[in-house]
């Protein structure tokens, strides 16, 4: 009679399942999976870094035609990067001035018409190309992270040129951010017109990814781009927050946003106004997206912005 119990059979099965050959096979599968995951991680990180490199790469553009009495100027930022611009004198040597700051990927060329009509109001006007844009010196573009140096240098130049007169700023998107952020806080301007300015770097990047893909992917991909600011520029993304910086700005602010802007949605524009101690005017333009806001012009825009700057800067007609 065979004296083998059911337990002995199960033990034998367990031994076969845990044989050295089976354990070696499982270890091999785990190793392959680990390698596949590692390769995928490297590919994702590599793609994110390549995308960041492309976004921050300088892009030169020819300067706009300069017509007298306007003249071309070159200004050195605090880190010795050369910034080129166009200066148009006001009615007097001490006329109030307006500094024009373009958006990401743009140049002073997109501000030519704005410079002209502001100059006709009697203002001295300085429009610059940020570093890595237009005709200025090639340097990585940073969505305001480094451009604040350019804004400060240009502001100081214009303030000195106008003999200490009142100075206003018109900043579009990145330009508005550059006017607000930086270790020293916002520009000491008497008035700012802030058009389609993002509240903070992380939301700016997340909104753009969401517009290109979808919101769940944006929440996953955004940190891979945002935290490159620490490696590329030595600044944590949380430090790049115009909505925090504007709380210390004491001049008059006019906040403008597009009602159909997916990159800087209306609630974010309203929040920026609420954060400003002196938000004199909030204007949400119906139906306009971010790119349309960057190029906004026309009678309504000129009337509202011109009136705001004239009141704030006391320009003489």
pLDDT tens by residue, 63-113: 999 999 999 999 999 999 999 999 999 999 999 999 999 999 999 999 999
71-76 and 82-88 beta bridge pairing: antiparallel
Rg over alpha carbons for the chain, rounded to the nearest Å, is: 27
The residues facing 168 across adjacent strands are: 98, 191
Dist CA 103 CA 2 (whole Å): 89
| pLDDT top residue among 43 and 284 | 284
The pLDDT value given to residue 17: 56
**Residue that the structure tokens 């190309």 belong to:** 129
Q: Which residue has the tokens 């990585």?
A: 140
Cβ pair 251, 245 in contact under 8 A: no
pTM for the full model? Answer: 0.87
> What integer is the mean pLDDT of 110-118?
95
Write down the pLDDT at residue 15.
Answer: 53
Q: How far is it, in rounded angstroms, from Cα 18 to Cα 25? A: 11
What pLDDT does residue 316 have?
A: 44
- The Cα–Cα gap between 247 and 93 comes to 33
Burial class (CB in 10 A: 0-12, 13-18, 19+), 163: exposed
Q: Dihedral sign for Cα 247, 295, 191, 101, please.
A: positive
Q: What is the mean pLDDT of residues 163-174?
A: 97
Q: Are 218 and 206 contacting, i.e. CB atoms less than 8 angstroms apart?
A: yes
pLDDT grade for 25, boundaries at 50, 70 and 90:
low
Give the lowest-confidence range in 139-143, 196-200, 271-275: 139-143
Position 4 pLDDT exceeds 70: no
Q: How many CB atoms lie within 10 A of CB 85?
A: 26
Beta bridge partners of 169: 99, 192
pLDDT in tens, 148-160: 999 999 999 999 9
- Give the position of tokens 């007609």: 317
Nearest to 90 by CA among 127, 128, 122: 122
Of the listed ranges 173-187, 190-204, 277-291, 302-316, the one predicted with least confidence: 302-316
Lowest mean pLDDT among 84-88, 184-188, 312-316: 312-316
* pLDDT of 315 over the 50 cut: no
Lowest mean pLDDT among 213-217, 222-226, 239-243: 213-217
Q: Tell me the CA distances in angstroms from 291 to 29, 105, 109, 110, 196, one per residue in order.
A: 50, 11, 15, 12, 9
């Amino acid at each position: 009679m065979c004296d083998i119990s059911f337990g002995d059979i199960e033990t034998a099965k367990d031994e076969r399942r845990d044989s050295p050959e089976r354990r070696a096979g499982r270890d091999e599968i785990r190793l392959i999976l680990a390698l596949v995951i590692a390769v995928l991680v490297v590919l994702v990180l590599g793609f994110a870094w390549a995308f960041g490199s492309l976004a921050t790469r300088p892009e030169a553009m020819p300067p706009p035609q300069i017509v007298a009495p306007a003249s071309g100027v070159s200004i050195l930022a605090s880190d010795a990067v050369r910034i080129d611009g166009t200066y148009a004198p006001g009615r007097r040597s001490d006329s109030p001035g307006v500094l024009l700051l373009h958006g990401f990927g743009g140049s002073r060329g997109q501000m030519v018409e704005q410079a002209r009509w502001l100059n006709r109001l009697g203002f001295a006007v300085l429009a610059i190309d940020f570093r890595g844009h237009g005709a200025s010196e090639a340097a990585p573009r940073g969505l305001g992270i480094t451009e604040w140096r350019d804004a400060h240098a240009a502001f100081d130049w214009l303030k000195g040129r106008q003999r200490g007169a009142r100075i206003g700023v018109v900043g579009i998107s990145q330009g508005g951010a550059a006017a607000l952020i930086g270790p020293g806080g916002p520009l000491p301007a008497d008035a700012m017109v802030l058009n389609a300015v993002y509240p903070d770097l992380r939301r700016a990047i997340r909104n753009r990814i969401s517009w290109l893909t979808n919101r769940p992917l944006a929440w996953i991909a955004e940190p891979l781009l945002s935290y490159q600011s620490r490696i590329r520029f030595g600044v944590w993304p949380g430090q790049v927050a115009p909505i925090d910086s504007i709380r210390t700005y004491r001049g008059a602010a006019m906040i403008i946003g597009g009602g159909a802007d997916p990159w800087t949605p209306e609630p974010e524009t309203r929040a920026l106004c609420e954060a400003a101690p002196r938000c004199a005017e909030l204007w949400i333009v119906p139906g306009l997206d971010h790119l349309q806001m960057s190029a906004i012009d026309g009678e309504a825009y000129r009337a509202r912005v011109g009136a705001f700057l004239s009141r704030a800067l006391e320009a003489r007609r």
